[in-house]
Amino acid sequence: MKKLLTPDAHQIGQPSGSRPESDAAPESLRHGTEAQLLLDLQGLVGKQQVLGRASDLIAFASDGSPYRRIPAVVVQPRHEQDIIEVMRYAADHQRTVTFRAAGTSLNGQAATEDILIDMRTHFQGMEVRDGGKRLWSRPGVILGDAQAVLARSGYMLGPDPGSTSVATIGGVLANNAGGMRCTVERDTYHSLEELRVVLPSGSVIDTRNGDEIFKFKEPQLHAELLRLREEIRADNDLVEFLRSKFSIRNTNGIRLDAFLDEDEPVRILAKLMVSSEGIFGAVTESVIRTVALPKKKATTWVMLRNLRDAANYVAPMMHAGALACEIMVAPALKKAVGHFPAAAEWWAELPDESAALLVELGGKDDDDLEASIKGAKEVLTDADLIKPLEFERSEAAMRGAWQIRNGLFGLLGAQREQGTTMITEDVCFPPDKIGDATADLVELLSRYGYPEMVMGHAAFGNLHFFLVPKLSDAEERAQYARFLDEMAEIVIDKYHGSLKAEHGTGVNMAPFLLREWGEQAWNLMWDVKHAIDPEGVLAPDVKLTHNQEIHLENFKSFPQVEAEINNCVECGFCEPVCPSRHATVTPRQRIVLRREMARQAPDSPLLSTLQEEFQYDAIDMCAADGSCSIACPISIDTGKVMKQFRAAQAPQSNQKVFLEGAKKWAVVENLVRGGLVSAKVLGSPTLQLATNVGRSIVNPDVLPSIPGDLPLPAPRLPHTQREGATAVYFPACINRMFGNSPDAQHDHLSTPHAVVEVARRSGAPVWIPEDVAGDCCGTPWSSKGYTEGFRYQARKISNDLWRWSDEGSLPIIVDAASCTHGVLDNVPEVLEGEDLERFQQLEILDVVDWIAREVVDHLPIVQELGRIAVHPTCSVRHMEGEDALLKVANACGDAVVPDGAGCCGSAGDRVMLHPELTESATREERAGLAQEHFDAFVSSNRTCEMGLEMITGEVYEHVAVLLEKASRPAISP
């Protein structure tokens, strides 16, 4: 039977003005992976581990680079044996394998048209060892997660690239990633202690087992590595050349210095794996030494008259104890004004020839930090500064400075011309030549019409700059090729630097290896490749290639789609925070798929297939929580586009039905409370059975399921008085309908009663309007695209808030974070005229912010409630309220945010429509909860609390409920 009210996926269509592109996927892809290949691999590793739909293949075709190659199949191995099976299959069937982790690769090293192995999904797990001095991990662990865990012990991994929040340990190893503070001595190559690797032969080599075991498993490879070691060491000129090349950052090519730094072949192999970009094997485990974190830090902007002066102060600043020293030219600083809160307005008037150093200083204590600051001031005693030095010590100020440095990539991406490609280049010079080299690069960029925005890790001679060519245009493509040739002349011939410092070689720089290294070293690199991978199974043309034009092939187009997502550069920063990341697709993949639809002809059968698969994967499974916009360098909210699609699919008849629902929302509230009472009488399983039957007839995205036990119905709202009230209290409708969990402690109050109580006890009483029923923030309508109902509720609540607050004279507090965020963010978008003017005069606060500001410091805490797991919702993070939430929770006990906590995916009714979304969203958080014992679990949004309880089995409550319990006066005997 055809489901009623099923959204028509074809309604989303193609963007107006879209046209078929030359890189459009072929119609043959409609059926996905070739049948025999799919069956073969499923038979080897299991059906669930092999992705072969058209949408799967296209979703994995793009990474952070300008290249796009559609894999034949995607495999997500669970363990080493799966990898072995796939590599042996590839060797037996003349196929190739390429590895991908986070897909942040900037040079095309994670793309293929054959078998793609995803190393992120199942290779998770890490362990802090030796009190933080070492980290054991699998390759799928996100670097930022590892850094957060290590920070608790006072340590960090040496590499700290700008992609820390998304890059994986596997990618850090494969590319020898650097970063702002990563000296050559503390990069992955020099910090690696042990690893475990699957070789193309199928052998699993664990360096902890020693060289004899390696020799037993791989005698020919062992012997060849010994031969190459002796050949390289016997050539003094070559030894001196390699030492010079690797004295600065260099990821362009193979680490031939492994033959100089290690004696045993098994140790040589381990070092060769670093910066190998997957051409030698798959690293499945590693042990890396860490470095101690400074306990105190400060930052300052050193504003100087010209670029060479700025560059000349880099080395002295580092010698004085600076942890990082980033160089930025004036055009880049000017771009920041108006886009970053920490960018000073006067930067807009900087002379174009000026430059700045962003310097970070640190120490083990305050005295040590002051000594570093004194040393920096002494270095700059005679400097011709544009503005006197100011040293910022607050976390907010330091974070703001680094947001400018890291955010300029995204800002330029957002401002580039539509249809152009964002390319990030990454070169390295000897640090003592950084001033002249930077000037030459700026001149070259200017001559080619590219942005004059050079910046980078000046202390290490490492510079980044950006190119924005329209690669679909033949002339611009030729100009891009000429630019690379001239860049190579400057970097290699003039300054003897490296063409890639920390981003890896990929296909982008592979054709330039011979030029940078010379024939002898280049041939030795091929010798190593043939020794480890004699069949050429792994990553062809990545890093090593005989195709001198490969860097000019397979460029991806950027067809125009919806305005909100057009500026996406497909960097992937959004992926780790997306609630649906483990279930269907991520924001980047939603955009990649949408762009493929725009590339297709209107009558393309493949377009129809993509639309049908997009409905559930992308639209239905989007939490529309905006978490992606927080992680995105240019704040793209992909969820807004998914809500637009829902609106386009909503029949006009439904718009009227939902408008009527908005008008009669008070009745709906009563019905829900009554329904909950009935459910308690009939039993949740009975109600769940009924809804499951209904969902088989009606579209599952319309009728919710009941994935867990129902909460209690909300009790009547507490009685309050307008006279003497310090704030208007608006209980969100979710708290007016749903009460506590049936498993909550019997003496715990409902959220509204708890808020009223803590307010009264602290001397800041609040007032709940008598006619609050029927008012709503409008999210239930806006999230589904029911615009008429949303406009009605937005106007109603704005007028009522104006009236209740005595025309803005009292602050208004809201007790559900998503509702607070909805009122602040969404309501004003549909208001006009006097309604909007009035709304802008209102002070609207989330109740947790208000409690942290007005209540908690005035409450006597009677009892400590133990270890408390805190879940900051996505709305809390949007409103930057995490500190307030932790402050309130810490008043009740020892509060901690578990590792992996992010958006829970409840998203209003999504947890009832698609429980699998919440299961996906909370996977890492549940693992974090399992690591230690907690006595209580809190958040600040009822639907999130309900969803978390359904998935984790723990009772989550509003933090105000816990605060009321902790501050409840003791009963005297």
913-925 per-position pLDDT tens digit: 788 998 999 999 9
**pLDDT given for residue 14 in this prediction:** 66
| Nearest to 816, CA basis, from 699, 929, 714 | 714
**pLDDT given for residue 195 in this prediction:** 97
**pLDDT given for residue 410 in this prediction:** 76
Residues linked to residue 538 through DSSP beta bridges, in sequence order:
97
Least confident of 666-670, 692-696, 789-793, 876-880: 692-696
| Nearest to 528, CA basis, from 262, 264, 285, 253 | 253
| Nearest to 116, CA basis, from 74, 76, 150, 176 | 74
What mean pLDDT is predicted for residues 117-128?
96
Give me the sheet containing 115-118, strands edge to edge.
50-51, 73-75, 115-118, 97-100
Residue 759 scores a pLDDT above 50: yes
Residues 182 and 166: their CA atoms lie apart, in Å, by 18
Strands 50-51 and 73-75: antiparallel
Tokens found for residue 560 = 């125009």
| 862-967: CATH topology | Rossmann fold (3.40.50)
**pLDDT given for residue 737 in this prediction:** 83
Average pLDDT of the chain, as a whole number: 90
Angle of helix 236-245 relative to helix 513-532, nearest 10 degrees, comes to 110
Angle of helix 587-599 relative to helix 638-649, nearest 10 degrees, comes to 60
End-to-end CA distance of the chain: 67
Q: Is 47 exposed, middle or buried (0-12, 13-18, 19+ CB in 10 A)?
A: exposed
Residues 355 and 340: their CA atoms lie apart, in Å, by 18
Residues 852 and 880: their CA atoms lie apart, in Å, by 13
**pLDDT given for residue 914 in this prediction:** 81
Tokens found for residue 392 = 């910022």
Confidence band for 908, pLDDT divided at 50, 70 and 90: low
Tell me the domain boundaries of the chain.
Answer: 1-21+559-643, 38-292+519-540, 296-503, 659-854, 862-967
**pLDDT given for residue 5 in this prediction:** 44
What mean pLDDT is predicted for residues 122-141?
97
Residue 972 scores a pLDDT above 60: no
What mean pLDDT is predicted for residues 812-834?
93
The class (CATH top level) of 38-292+519-540 is alpha beta
Confidence band for 907, pLDDT divided at 50, 70 and 90: confident
| Nearest to 111, CA basis, from 304, 278, 283, 288 | 278
**How many other CB atoms are there within 10 angstroms of residue 927's CB atom?**
14
**pLDDT given for residue 308 in this prediction:** 87
Residue 284 scores a pLDDT above 70: yes
**359: DSSP letter:** E
**620: DSSP letter:** I
Residues 704 and 699: their CA atoms lie apart, in Å, by 9
Residue 179 φ/ψ, nearest 5 degrees = 135, -170
Residue 800 scores a pLDDT above 60: yes
pLDDT digits (tens, 9 = 90+) for 355-386: 999 999 999 999 999 999 999 999 999 999 99
Long-range contacts (CB closer than 8 Å, 24 or more residues apart) made by 665-670? 665/733, 665/773, 665/774, 665/775, 665/776, 665/793, 666/773, 666/774, 669/733, 669/736, 669/737, 669/773, 669/774
Per-residue exposure over 820-834, b if at least 16 CB sit within 10 Å of its own CB, e if not: bbbbbbbbeebbeee
What mean pLDDT is predicted for residues 740-744?
84
**pLDDT given for residue 689 in this prediction:** 40
Residues linked to residue 157 through DSSP beta bridges, in sequence order:
290
**pLDDT given for residue 272 in this prediction:** 98
Which of the pair, 906 or 387, is modelled with greater confidence?
387
Least confident of 225-229, 567-571, 705-709, 715-719: 705-709
Residue 960 φ/ψ, nearest 5 degrees = -65, -30
Phi-psi region of 518 (alpha: psi -120 to 50; beta: other; left: phi over 0): left
Q: Is 313 exposed, middle or buried (0-12, 13-18, 19+ CB in 10 A)?
A: buried
Residues 411 and 61: their CA atoms lie apart, in Å, by 25
What mean pLDDT is predicted for residues 511-540?
98
| Architecture per CATH, 296-503 | 3-Layer(aba) Sandwich (3.40)
Residue 1 scores a pLDDT above 70: no
Residue 302 scores a pLDDT above 90: yes
Residues 311 and 302: their CA atoms lie apart, in Å, by 11
Confidence band for 4, pLDDT divided at 50, 70 and 90: very low
**pLDDT given for residue 277 in this prediction:** 98
The rounded radius of gyration (Å) of the Cα atoms in the chain is 29
Contacts of 934 (CB under 8 A, 6+ apart): 866, 867, 868, 869, 954
Contacts of 882 (CB under 8 A, 6+ apart): 872, 876, 897
Q: What is the largest CA-CA distance in the chain?
A: 91
Confidence band for 671, pLDDT divided at 50, 70 and 90: low
Residue 738 φ/ψ, nearest 5 degrees = -105, 135
Residues 910 and 583: their CA atoms lie apart, in Å, by 14
What mean pLDDT is predicted for residues 103-129?
96
What is the 3-class SS of 820-879, one letter each residue?
HHHHHHCHHHHCCHHHHHHHCCCCEEEHHHHHHHHHHHHCCCCCCCCEEEECCCHHHHHC
**710: DSSP letter:** P
Residues 99 and 33: their CA atoms lie apart, in Å, by 18
Contacts of 598 (CB under 8 A, 6+ apart): 14, 15, 18, 21, 559, 560, 561
**pLDDT given for residue 47 in this prediction:** 97
Phi-psi region of 833 (alpha: psi -120 to 50; beta: other; left: phi over 0): left
Dihedral angle sign, alpha carbons of residues 320, 323, 329, 333: negative
Residue 964 scores a pLDDT above 60: yes
**pLDDT given for residue 965 in this prediction:** 96
pLDDT digits (tens, 9 = 90+) for 850-881: 999 999 999 999 999 999 999 999 999 999 99
Determine the 3-state secondary structure of 51 from DSSP.
strand
pLDDT digits (tens, 9 = 90+) for 446-488: 999 999 888 889 889 999 999 999 998 999 999 999 999 999 9
Strands 134-137 and 282-292: antiparallel
Residues 57 and 114: their CA atoms lie apart, in Å, by 10
Residues 404 and 392: their CA atoms lie apart, in Å, by 15
**pLDDT given for residue 696 in this prediction:** 45
User: Measured at the alpha carbon of residue 239, what is the angle toward residues 238 and 240, in degrees to the nearest 5?
Assistant: 90
Tokens found for residue 955 = 């009772």
**pLDDT given for residue 240 in this prediction:** 98
Residue 690 scores a pLDDT above 60: no
Confidence band for 146, pLDDT divided at 50, 70 and 90: very high
User: Measured at the alpha carbon of residue 874, what is the angle toward residues 872 and 875, in degrees to the nearest 5?
Assistant: 95
**pLDDT given for residue 435 in this prediction:** 87
Residue 703 scores a pLDDT above 50: no
Least confident of 194-208, 209-223, 226-240, 618-632: 618-632
Confidence band for 13, pLDDT divided at 50, 70 and 90: low
Which of the pair, 772 or 659, is modelled with greater confidence?
772
Residues 388 and 479: their CA atoms lie apart, in Å, by 42
Which of the pair, 652 or 372, is modelled with greater confidence?
372
Dihedral angle sign, alpha carbons of residues 466, 469, 471, 476: negative
User: Measured at the alpha carbon of residue 701, what is the angle toward residues 697 and 705, in degrees to the nearest 5?
Assistant: 75
Least confident of 431-440, 544-553, 952-961: 431-440
Tokens found for residue 561 = 């789609």
**How many other CB atoms are there within 10 angstroms of residue 564's CB atom?**
16
| Nearest to 250, CA basis, from 501, 515, 438 | 501
Is 73:90 a contact under the CB 8 Å cutoff? Answer: no
Is 803:740 a contact under the CB 8 Å cutoff? Answer: no
